[in-house]
């Protein structure tokens, strides 16, 4: 489940479905208001998906 802002920031939309479809770069960009990238990280024979927020520091410094 993921909540993203509605049109023009009005309200929120809640998304339900398979995690791999809901936690996409597009949906995460909308939910957090910053550009994100998903990168796979393999460690000890397991692969994890890492969420990298790009521009988060700058956004927080602006107070947005």
pLDDT, greater one: 33 or 3: 33
pLDDT exceeds 60 at position 36: yes
> Tens digits of per-residue pLDDT, 18-31?
887 888 998 888 88
DSSP the chain: -EEEE-GGG-SEEEE-S-HHHHS-HHHHHHHHSSEEEEEEEEETTEEEEEEEEESHHHHHHHT-
| pLDDT band per the 50, 70, 90 thresholds, residue 10 | low
Predicted pLDDT of residue 33: 83
Q: Rounded to two decimals, what is the model's pTM?
A: 0.60
Tokens representing 19 are 């995690």
Query: Where exactly are the structural domains of the chain?
Result: 2-62
Predicted pLDDT of residue 2: 56
């Amino acid at each position: 489940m993921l909540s993203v802002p509605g049109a023009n920031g009005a309200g929120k939309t809640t998304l339900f479905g398979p995690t791999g479809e809901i936690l996409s770069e597009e949906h995460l960009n909308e939910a957090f208001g910053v550009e994100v990238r998903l990168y796979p990280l393999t460690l000890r024979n397991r692969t994890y998906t890492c969420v990298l927020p790009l521009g988060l520091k700058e956004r927080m410094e602006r107070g947005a």
